[in-house]
Amino acid sequence: MEDIVDALGRRIATLVERLRAIGYVFEHPDEVFPGPDPIASEVILQIESSVGAVPLALKLFWTRIGSVDLTGSHPEWPEPSVYLDQLVVFPPSVATYYLDDYLSGETGSFELVIAPDYFHKADVSGGPPYTVGVPATEDDPPLNGTPDPQTFIEHIERALQYGGFPGLADCPDHEWPLAQLIDAEG
């Protein structure tokens, strides 16, 4: 699993470099690919001691890669007729907010919020966020709330297959330069 996650991290780094090079404008420039959060291990320990095991794939992502946020646009690319569902994985610090709500009794169950749903990524009111269940029962758990059933790792893989924008899979007539973005090794 470590090798898989490390390879994803390298592919995301390459994609971010390519997006920057062709003029993509990130909505949250400081959150694009900041690296591991210094408090990642502490947050994981807090979750595991309070609720249960964090899935291995997510622990490795948080501690080795960090987070990613590809929301944004390109001034010369036409808006596709679908929601892009840009690749986003929140940092572990976001989990503390939801953990605090859970521990204070404000919510009945606990799931780790991984990313906003594809509507919210497009600034449209939508559905629940993408989540994984805790305590973990699998190393690479199902990602709840996604349009298609997939695990956490499969979600990232699919996003990378479409240059960070898996919604483009449903828009064959888009004019985005995927060949310039997609890693030939992926």
pTM of the model: 0.90
* Burial class for 79, CB neighbours closer than 10 Å (0-12, 13-18, 19+): exposed
pLDDT tens for 10-29 read 999 999 999 999 999 999 99
40: left (phi over 0), alpha (psi -120 to 50) or beta: alpha
55 vs 145, higher pLDDT: 55
CA distances from 73 to 10, 38, 129, 160, 168 (A): 22, 29, 21, 17, 14
Residue type, 49: S
pLDDT band at 183, cuts 50/70/90? low
CATH code for 2-72+80-181?
Answer: 3.40.1580
pLDDT tens for 101-138 read 888 887 677 899 998 765 545 555 677 888 999 999 99
38, pLDDT greater than 50: yes
CA distances from 181 to 7, 80, 91, 142, 185 (A): 16, 17, 24, 27, 12
In the chain, the percentage of residues whose pLDDT exceeds 90 is: 59
